[in-house]
């Protein structure tokens, strides 16, 4: 900074000397000089113009002024007044009286007077022995078979008769000629059949109750021999009949019972 200040001062001194020199050269002639050599010619005797001085360097930035004084703090507002307390409400009406707890159990009263013992009644006569129930009537079961082939049937309503009873309990009513079981004991029964067919024809067998079709079994395959079978549980009343009908031909033999029909009472009513 001192170097810049010295440089600026030197340039100012040079400019001042240059101005003084120009004034001395171009100044006017004095009044006493009247010869031709004493008059200054302003055009031919004036020297050349001096070179313009070098512009001065810009001055330094001034320092910041001092900070202003801090303003006074504002006045804090006053706290508001507390409002008045509300009035106390009136008490509500009295509630209904509640149920009280049960009272204590009172003392036990004295025992009552024992009454006089009455006379014993006369002993009754011994009853007659009852009849022993006949349980055999409730044992109903059968198994019947064919021992030879049947005739060919072309109607689904053709009865399938049987030729031998393998098991027929007493009280069981079965007609081999029509292949029909007749119910003598009402109850729930189980029935099943298994009928063997020839390989050259079809066979259809139907289990029927009275005139109702219950279950059926059949085979369309005319190239193989097969067993046709089915089973059912029936509720029967006295006089109901159960039998088989068939379409086709059933086969069997005396040695092997290929065709059979079975039924038994599950429980009576």
Higher pLDDT, residue 130 or 37: 130
Question: What pLDDT is stored for residue 244 in this prediction?
Answer: 97
In degrees, to the nearest 5, what angle opens at C-alpha 174 toward C-alphas 187 and 242?
55
**Would the pLDDT of 216 be above 90?**
yes
Query: Is residue 70 exposed (0-12), middle (13-18) or buried (19+ Cβ within 10 Å)?
Result: exposed
Residues 60, 156: Cα–Cα separation, whole Å: 136
Residues 157, 10: Cα–Cα separation, whole Å: 154
Question: What pLDDT is stored for residue 240 in this prediction?
Answer: 98
Do 219 and 228 form a contact (C-beta atoms < 8 A)?
yes
Over pLDDT 70: what percentage of the chain?
66
Alpha carbon of 2 to those of 57, 60, 64, 164, 245: distances in Å?
Answer: 13, 12, 21, 154, 145
Question: What pLDDT is stored for residue 173 in this prediction?
Answer: 96
Average model confidence (pLDDT) across the chain: 78
Do 243 and 212 form a contact (C-beta atoms < 8 A)?
no
Q: List, for residues 59-98, the tens digit of each pLDDT value.
A: 777 777 787 788 777 677 677 677 677 677 677 677 566 5
Question: What pLDDT is stored for residue 224 in this prediction?
Answer: 85
User: Which pTM was predicted?
Assistant: 0.50
Mean pLDDT for 110-117 is 59
Question: What pLDDT is stored for residue 103 in this prediction?
Answer: 60
Mention every residue, 6+ apart, whose C-beta is less than 8 A from residue 83. none
Pick from 228, 226, 227: nearest CA to 215 = 228
Specify the DSSP element, H or E, that contains 21. Answer: helix 2-26
Over pLDDT 90: what percentage of the chain?
38
**Would the pLDDT of 31 be above 60?**
no
Q: List, for residues 225-253, the tens digit of each pLDDT value.
A: 899 999 999 999 999 999 999 999 998 98
SS (HEC) of 180-229: EEECCCCEEEEEEEEEEECCCCCEEEEEEECCEEEEEEEECCCCCCEEEE
- 166 SS3 class: strand
Q: List, for residues 132-169, the tens digit of each pLDDT value.
A: 445 445 789 999 999 999 888 899 999 999 999 999 99
Alpha carbon of 188 to those of 100, 171, 218, 236, 237: distances in Å?
Answer: 64, 16, 26, 6, 9
Between the CA atoms of 139, 140, 146 and 147, what dihedral angle is there, to the nearest 10 degrees? 20
Residue matched to tokens 């009472």: 265
| Highest mean pLDDT of the ranges 8-22, 83-97, 116-130, 169-183 | 169-183
Question: What pLDDT is stored for residue 63 in this prediction?
Answer: 77
**Would the pLDDT of 33 be above 50?**
no
């Amino acid at each position: 900074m001192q170097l810049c200040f010295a440089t600026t001062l030197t340039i100012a001194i040079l400019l001042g000397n240059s101005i003084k020199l120009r004034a001395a050269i171009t100044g006017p002639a004095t009044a006493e000089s009247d010869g031709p050599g004493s008059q200054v010619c302003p055009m031919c005797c004036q020297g050349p113009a001096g070179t313009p001085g070098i512009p001065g360097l810009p001055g330094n930035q001034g320092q910041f002024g001092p900070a202003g004084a801090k303003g006074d703090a504002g006045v804090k507002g006053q706290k508001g007044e507390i409002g008045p307390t509300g009035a106390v409400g009136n008490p509500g009406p009295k509630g209904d009286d509640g149920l009280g707890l049960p009272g204590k159990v009172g003392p036990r009263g004295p025992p009552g007077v024992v009454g006089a013992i009455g006379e014993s009644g006369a002993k009754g006569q011994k009853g007659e022995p009852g009849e022993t129930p006949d349980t055999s009537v409730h044992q109903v079961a059968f198994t019947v078979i064919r021992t030879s082939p049947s005739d060919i049937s072309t109607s689904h309503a053709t009865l399938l008769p049987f030729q031998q009873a393998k098991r027929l309990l007493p009280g069981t009513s079965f007609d081999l000629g029509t292949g029909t079981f007749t119910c003598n004991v009402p109850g729930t029964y189980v029935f099943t059949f298994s009928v063997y067919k020839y390989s050259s024809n079809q066979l259809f067998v139907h289990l029927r109750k009275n005139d109702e079709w219950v279950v059926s079994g059949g085979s369309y395959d005319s190239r193989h021999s097969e067993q046709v079978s089915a089973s059912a549980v029936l509720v029967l009343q006295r006089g109901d009949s159960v039998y088989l009908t068939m379409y086709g031909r059933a086969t069997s033999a005396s040695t092997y019972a290929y065709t059979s029909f079975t039924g038994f009472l599950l429980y009576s009513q």
